Structure 1
Amino acid sequence: MTQTGLIRVLVIDDSAYSRRTISRMLETSPLVEVVGWARDGEEALRKALQLRPDLVTLDLEMPRMDGFTFLRLLMAKRPTPVLVVSGRSRDEDVFRALELGAVDFIAKPSQRAAPELGTIQEELIRKVHATRQLRMDKVRERISQAPAPVRSHAARDGRLRVVAIGSSTGGPAALMQIFGAFSEAPDCAFVVSQHMPEGFTRGFAERIDRLTPVAAQEARGGEEIRRGAVLLAPGGYHLEFESRGGTAVARLVPRAAEDKYAPSVDRMFESAAKAFGRDLLAVVLTGMGDDGRRGVRAVREAGGAVIAESEETAVIFGMPQQAIRTGAVDAVLPLPEIAMAIQTGIPRAPRDGEGRV
């Protein structure tokens, strides 16, 4: 960033309307300076190397050089935070871009340029501001790192262990690394709340299901929490749990106007703590903000265990740091060690009035 502290942004989109609209939205923030724009991948790469922006907003569909080629070359020549601005019908492209080094994405209201594009202004500015907390060196490490394989083994007592994972910025790549580390589906159930817009979580669940050993699906409500499977909270809904005939099943609660996040990591953790108690392991991964801070306290009070991703690997340390500050976290681990900790378990820190478990 410049000595003035402004976040310098390069806007890339082949639509003149989108370029102007995104630039105008960004310039409403006193913390942001739009230093240039580009209409195709070749021009974008040239300007990114010349202007050296702090962040790039990227439309993946461009002439002359597509967004994927641009990302590969940019990450090789001058790694820079990239925020993808994409239409909802291109979810598979978005996840591919995240794996190539993009740090986050925003859903355009429609594929074509339209006045509704202005509705993303608040989310756009919030995510651009988050660049101040972002560690690009950790993004680069995740691109190059292959997860160490983790062998699965059955639970000794036959009880259903549940792993609840919460994440935000940088989370999709972190989740893929965790689930991809298992050589086969582990003997536990996973429930996940990843901050993600409506319309994208189903595609992300399908990607986890296709590329990792675990069976994954977007929650629709009523699904049984089962071993070796991942249930992903849909965008715009909170994932909670209830008992039906002695079996824990998923319950979806629509987003309310006052909700800051939907899905909410706090609400998932709190509900899971009530449903699973000591059989629950909560994991807080990379992300901005403090979602999960309240929830980890509930997990600890119910006798469950908590892992937070360490600053060593977190792309944004905000959510893990807030969880750690509660004193409810049992282990702070770098991302490559989390899959093994899920598999083998971690020693719980002493609870009030008791010795170490």
Structure 2
Amino acid sequence: MSPDPIKVLIIDDSAVVRQALTEILGKDRGIKVIGQAMDPLFAMEKMKKEWPDVILLDVEMPRMDGITFLRKIMAEHPTPVIICSSLTAKGAETTMQALAAGAFTIFTKPTMGVKNFLEDSSGDLVVAVRAAAGARVNRVLKPVPPKANADIVLPPGGESMVVTTERFTAIGTSTGGTQALEFVLASLPRTCPGIVVVQHMPEKFTAAFAARLNSICEIEVREARTGDRVLAGRALIAPGGKHLVVRRSGAQYVAEVVSAPPVNRHCPSVDVLFRSVAKYAGRNALGVIMTGMGDDGARGLLEMKQAGAHTLAQDEESCVVFGMPKEAIKLGAADKVVPLSMIPELIAR
């Protein structure tokens, strides 16, 4: 007997978007769109009759905005919510608020040609819906196209001089990582070692994400730029659409932002960052892989461990999606598997 389909509710003030999303999701036998609504107030009436497994939510709508609705849902009846946001600076800031309020992930849409874009991105949307419905539950996702590895950005092997007093932490995360990173970085003292981060996130969203973290953390948090030093009390976030690598400059470590194709279907990629850390820092670094879908970062964390770095993986219980840490653990890449609550203390050491 086949499992019940995933029930999805679509909330967007654009009739074109609602119809396109309904048609796309309706093609998958494992997904059932149970309703559409032009704003949250209409949606709440529909949800009284049947509660969805996943909600697709726009953020800018009449009568009630998506952020207010999201906070209400998370307080009263927590449900996986995928934010469908326009790829604009204004939209990015609002979407960061949504992620902080508990949204599962972001699905971006352009301001023009939305219907064609959604059709072209239908595979990614279906994967996101299935992942949301199965958060913290092992679920087999539909096959996806072959993926490149970190070789296209940085060749493996080789190690620069490792005798230095500089130490830093490299963190990789994806789905659920915005909340996890907020917890980790906001818990760190200004004296903590430098930090470099890859959070899977689209272009334009990472700057708003870094700015938000900087406003609530004791440490400095900003989007990485080529030439930035990895310093104590500073966290550098990889820009969306670019890879982040760390290189040696004398006895110091500096960031380099690289334009290159996606690795493991991601740009930025955790594997790329972790490989650079293994190559140029070795035992001077700590590697941390946290909640996320897929396996990006698993092989990179293993390379870090083989180069002498200490490595951590977030445990299943505290992950939103136990994908990336699970794959790293399977490879033997993690020295320790720890709950999210322990990670700030281990970084600060």
TM-score, with length taken from structure 2: 0.86
RMSD (Å) for aligned C-alpha atoms: 2.1
Between the aligned partners of 2:78 and 2:262, the Cα distance in structure 1 is 37
For residues 283 and 97 of structure 1, do their structure 2 counterparts lie closer, same or farther at Cα, with a shift above 3 Å needed? same
For residues 46 and 112 of structure 1, do their structure 2 counterparts lie closer, same or farther at Cα, with a shift above 3 Å needed? farther
- Map Cα deviations across residues 265-288 of structure 1 (whole Å, 9 max, x no partner): 111111111111111111111001
- Map Cα deviations across residues 60-106 of structure 1 (whole Å, 9 max, x no partner): 11222221221122223321100000112311211111121211111
Give the drift of 1:122: 2.9
Which residue in the other structure is 2:153 paired with? none
Which residue in the other structure is 1:133 paired with? 134
Asked if the contact 1:108/1:120 (under 8 Å) is kept, the reply is no
Asked if the contact 1:82/1:103 (under 8 Å) is kept, the reply is yes
Asked if the contact 1:178/1:339 (under 8 Å) is kept, the reply is yes
Matching of residue 60 in structure 1 with residue 50 in structure 2: no
Give the drift of 1:237: 1.5
Which residue in the other structure is 2:13 paired with? 14
SS at match of 1:295: helix
Which residue in the other structure is 1:336 paired with? 341
- Map Cα deviations across residues 246-273 of structure 1 (whole Å, 9 max, x no partner): 4322222223167511111111111111
Matching of residue 37 in structure 1 with residue 36 in structure 2: yes
- Structure 2: stretches of 5+ with no match in the other structure: 138-162
Matching of residue 188 in structure 1 with residue 193 in structure 2: yes
- Map Cα deviations across residues 143-162 of structure 1 (whole Å, 9 max, x no partner): xxxxxxxxxxxxxx992221
Give the letter aligned to residue 41 of structure 1: P
Between the aligned partners of 1:236 and 1:64, the Cα distance in structure 2 is 34
Asked if the contact 2:164/2:251 (under 8 Å) is kept, the reply is no
Give the drift of 1:112: 8.6
For residues 49 and 158 of structure 1, do their structure 2 counterparts lie closer, same or farther at Cα, with a shift above 3 Å needed? farther
For residues 13 and 202 of structure 1, do their structure 2 counterparts lie closer, same or farther at Cα, with a shift above 3 Å needed? same
- Structure 1: stretches of 5+ with no match in the other structure: 137-156, 345-357
Which residue in the other structure is 1:208 paired with? 213
Segment of structure 1 superposing worse, 158-167 or 292-301: 158-167
Which residue in the other structure is 1:285 paired with? 290
Q: 2:240 aligns with which of 235, 260, 266?
A: 235
For residues 258 and 246 of structure 1, do their structure 2 counterparts lie closer, same or farther at Cα, with a shift above 3 Å needed? closer
- Map Cα deviations across residues 302-334 of structure 1 (whole Å, 9 max, x no partner): 110111111111000111111111122111111
Which residue in the other structure is 1:178 paired with? 184
Matching of residue 307 in structure 1 with residue 312 in structure 2: yes
Asked if the contact 2:96/2:205 (under 8 Å) is kept, the reply is no
TM-score, with length taken from structure 1: 0.85
Percent identity for Structure 1 against Structure 2: 40
Q: 1:255 aligns with which of 239, 251, 260?
A: 260
Which residue in the other structure is 1:86 paired with? 85
Give the letter aligned to residue 281 of structure 1: L
Give the letter aligned to residue 7 of structure 2: R
Asked if the contact 2:313/2:337 (under 8 Å) is kept, the reply is yes
Q: 1:169 aligns with which of 150, 165, 175?
A: 175
Asked if the contact 2:17/2:114 (under 8 Å) is kept, the reply is yes
Give the drift of 1:115: 4.2
Asked if the contact 1:189/1:225 (under 8 Å) is kept, the reply is yes
For residues 33 and 333 of structure 1, do their structure 2 counterparts lie closer, same or farther at Cα, with a shift above 3 Å needed? same
Which residue in the other structure is 2:141 paired with? none
